[in-house]
Chains A and B, each alone.
Chain A
Amino acid sequence: MNNDGIVWEVLNNQFCSFKVKTDLGNLCRHPYNVTGRCNRRDCPLANSKYATVREHGGRIYLCMKTAERAHIPAKQWEKIALPKNFAQAIEVIDKELIYWPGWMINICKQRLTRITQYLIRMRRLKLKNKTTLVPIKKKLERREKSREIRAEAAARLDQSIEKELLERLKSKAYGDQPLNVNESVWKEILEGDAVEAESDVTTEDELEDEEEYEYEEEAAGGSGGRLNREFVADDSDADDSSAGDDDDLEDDMEDFGDMSPSDFSSAEDDSAGESEDAIDEDDEDGSDMDDSDESDSAKKPISKGKRPAAPAARPKPAKRTKKHGPRVEVEYETESAVRDTMLTNW
């Protein structure tokens, strides 16, 4: 009935659905073939006693077939899960295939070796952060770029920033004696206050005045513009920042939320030192002070006036919302690591 010689004669000379003819010789597509070649010895169909090592889902199994189960295709292969330890797996193979043909045992071991090697390699590869290539779609890029430009123009950022700044001045957010403010502008605002007491705000005058104030534009445009995004670790910018800068820095910080705290230096002294500086430049910080004070209250106090070389530690930058607008200093330990995440999270 079931006869290996006949089976081989039929499959080899007539037709086998698993055979693949190539220049290198005949190959076998049967999933249980131990070598992958099509010949009398390696054919899983033409040998009623056969053993293979197969891998599924990261686990390696020894599969054995005997003549006793030849008529039950559903249970033909006996799968034994090999231990993850390589040496133990070899022992299991030796034990299970004892008295089996020597070449079969050796080939199973070789296959086990190869499979473990490629599994190790797969795991190692997964740990690497491999950058995926994404094609640049010219049409899309072109369209988005022009849309950006148009949106930026329509947004009239400089005007809105101006308005915002003036509103802040008016609302005395910067106190009674703000620095870096044009005298005439300040006067106007003071007069405006007086006028307001009588009547409604004359918006037209203010609008004319707002246009002349370039410093605000510079401050706003340099850091608020989308065009130049430079990810640089720089303390000085953070200290000199106006409200606009703070907003942008806050945007950056939101992006850095993914980063682990280890990426940043853990010098707690820095934040304390920073708070000292904040006290000096009182008028500018204003509401920022409250937050920084709260966060720094738990930290060690540092001698006044010292500007620490190392940057501030930031406990949880991601949680800070835009409303608070705290001052944050960021230092990037390894530039390359930062760049990667920045590039993906921009």
Chain B
Amino acid sequence: MAARPVVSVFGLNGAKLDATVPLPSVFTAPIRPDLVQFVHKNMAKNRRQPYAAKQQAGEETSAESWGTGRAVARIPRVGGGGTHRAGQAAFGNMTRGGRMFAPNKVWRKWHIRTNSNQKRYATASAVAASGVSALVSGRGHRISGIEEVPLVVSAEVESLSKTKEAITLLKALKAYADVAKVSNTRSIRAGRGKMRNRRHRQRRGPLVVFAEDKGISRAFRNLPGVELVDVTRLNLLQLAPGGHLGRFVIWTQPAFEALNKVFGSQTEASVQKKGYTLPIPVISNPDVSRLIGSDEIQAVVRPSGPKSMRRPFTQKKNPLRNTQVLVRLNPYAQVLRRAELLGKNKKTKKYTHKKSASAKFLQILKAD
């Protein structure tokens, strides 16, 4: 973006205030969906708790194979007698009551370490993506009534303490549709998770980012789907849930202004992340197809060839039989050939037989 655009601030009643904030540089960070997906995957694993099968599971028998000659498969079988279990197969992953294939171990690497720079890049991308209305509505948030993206609310919002006030604010901002979506989509989880304390599922609503909690968290925390976060602790798992860019974010004005300190810019180092500058995009305008189709480039580009090229040399042709190929290899052959043909023409003058010998010949013949 050439000039730093300016974002308007909205008051508690949803009306646009005169105050404006210049757009922080984060919103111009390159949007890298691949990186975000990678980092998100790793970060999502950090919350895991270990699980494993019991160490001795399936091996608590003294089964031995019966070997050959007994008309049974050679899998180890439980010894002894007097019970159903005797003679049953054991120890294999394919047997009933046997040990599973590659039993899970608790020493699996549950948490993944990601480079800080990558993590920061991903967060910056996610913040930038939250400023693109197309991505936010594509992700599924109901923002058709919102007056501006990114949505910045005045600092008074941080002092709200009643949920009722929070609701009226959201309704004034036309952001309540997103919250309503969450409560409408609350449903019971399919599967065993129901009985494992994960009974309900619902969509994600708006993410409210503040700079100082003067009561705002208490106002918004009971609203379904609404998440609150301090601007200094922006979390990729909240900015790009599921690795999908474009969370609907509601910023308070102090938080929005603080973003410059949190992320810095491409030239200026960040205050919070020591020495960190925003990534410089490899290509400043990523819309390559538009670039190619633009008038400036089309004017200097040579005309395109056929859509599909014919393969040049698919069959070998014998030069001794195909004159064109012969000439391609030996251009002088054309001259030779031509001369030959002309000579042949000369030669093929018809030879007329004389009916009788000539007089001179007879004279010589009869002379002694």
Contact = CB atoms under 8 A, between A and B. Distances in A.
Contacts of B128: 1
Contacts of B149: 71-73
Interface stretch (B57-65, B287-295, B348-356): B287-295
B33 A9 contact: yes
B37 interface: yes
A2 interface: yes
B133 A71 contact: yes
Interface in A9-36: 9-11, 13-18
Interface in B80-137: 128-129, 131-135, 137
A73 B149 CA distance: 7
A45 B287 CA distance: 15
A18 B138 contact: yes
Interface in A59-96: 70-74, 76
B218 interface: no
Given A1-B28, A5-B288, A10 B143 contact: no
Chain A facing B: main interface SS: loop
Given A72-B147, A72-B148, A2 B134 contact: yes
Interface residues of B, number: 38
Contacts, number: 89
A6 interface: yes
B1 A1 contact: yes
A7 B33 contact: no
Contact of B138 (A5, A11, A70): A11
A45 B138 contact: yes
Contacts of B246: 10
Contacts of B250: none
- A-B CB proximity, top 6 nearest: A5-B287, A17-B140, A45-B134, A15-B244, A11-B138, A7-B134
A71 B1 CA distance: 14
Contacts of A72: 147-149
A15 B245 CA distance: 9
Contacts of A2: 131-134
Nearest to B288: A5
A17 B145 CA distance: 18
B290 A5 contact: yes
Nearest to A10: B33
B272 interface: no
A46 interface: yes
Nearest to A47: B134
17 contacts: A1-B5, A1-B132, A2-B134, A4-B290, A5-B288, A10-B129, A10-B246, A14-B37, A14-B243, A15-B242, A15-B244, A16-B138, A17-B140, A18-B138, A45-B137, A73-B149, A76-B133
Contact of A3 (B5, B140, B244, B287): B287
B135 A10 contact: yes
B135 A74 contact: no
A34 to B, nearest CB: 16
A9 B128 CA distance: 15
A9 to B, nearest CB: 6
Contact of B145 (A6, A11, A71, A74): A74
A18 B148 CA distance: 22
Contacts of B132: 1-3, 6-7
Given A1-B132, A71-B133, A73-B146, A6 B138 contact: no
Interface secondary structure of B, over-half rule: loop
B261 interface: no
A4 B286 CA distance: 9
Nearest to B134: A45
Given A10-B129, A18-B138, A74 B287 contact: no
A14 B244 contact: yes
A5 B134 contact: no
A70 B150 CA distance: 11
Interface string B168-184: 00000010000000000
B174 to A, nearest CB: 7
Contacts of A11: 134-135, 138
A1 B27 contact: yes
A6 B146 contact: no
Contacts of B245: 10, 14
Contacts of B147: 72-74
Given A5-B288, A10-B129, 19 more contacts: A1-B1, A1-B27, A2-B132, A3-B286, A6-B33, A10-B33, A10-B135, A14-B33, A14-B37, A17-B137, A45-B138, A71-B133, A71-B149, A72-B147, A73-B133, A73-B149, A74-B145, A74-B147, A76-B144
Interface string A294-306: 0000000000000
A76 B149 CA distance: 11
B297 to A, nearest CB: 15
B174 A74 contact: yes
A103 to B, nearest CB: 14
A1 B148 CA distance: 14
Contacts of A71: 131, 133, 148-149
A2 B5 CA distance: 12
Nearest to A18: B138
A70 B133 contact: yes
Contacts of A10: 31, 33, 129, 135, 138, 245-246
Contacts of B289: 5
Nearest to A15: B244
B31 to A, nearest CB: 5
A5 B286 CA distance: 7
Contacts of B285: 3
Nearest to B174: A74
Contacts of A4: 287, 290
Nearest to A13: B33
B256 to A, nearest CB: 14
| Interface-centre pick from B138, B242, B289 (highest chain A CB count, 10 A) | B138
B236 to A, nearest CB: 14
Contacts of B144: 73-74, 76
B23 to A, nearest CB: 8
Given A9-B33, A71-B149, A17 B138 contact: yes
Nearest to A40: B289
A73 B136 CA distance: 11
B140 A73 contact: no
B243 A6 contact: no
A16 B139 CA distance: 6
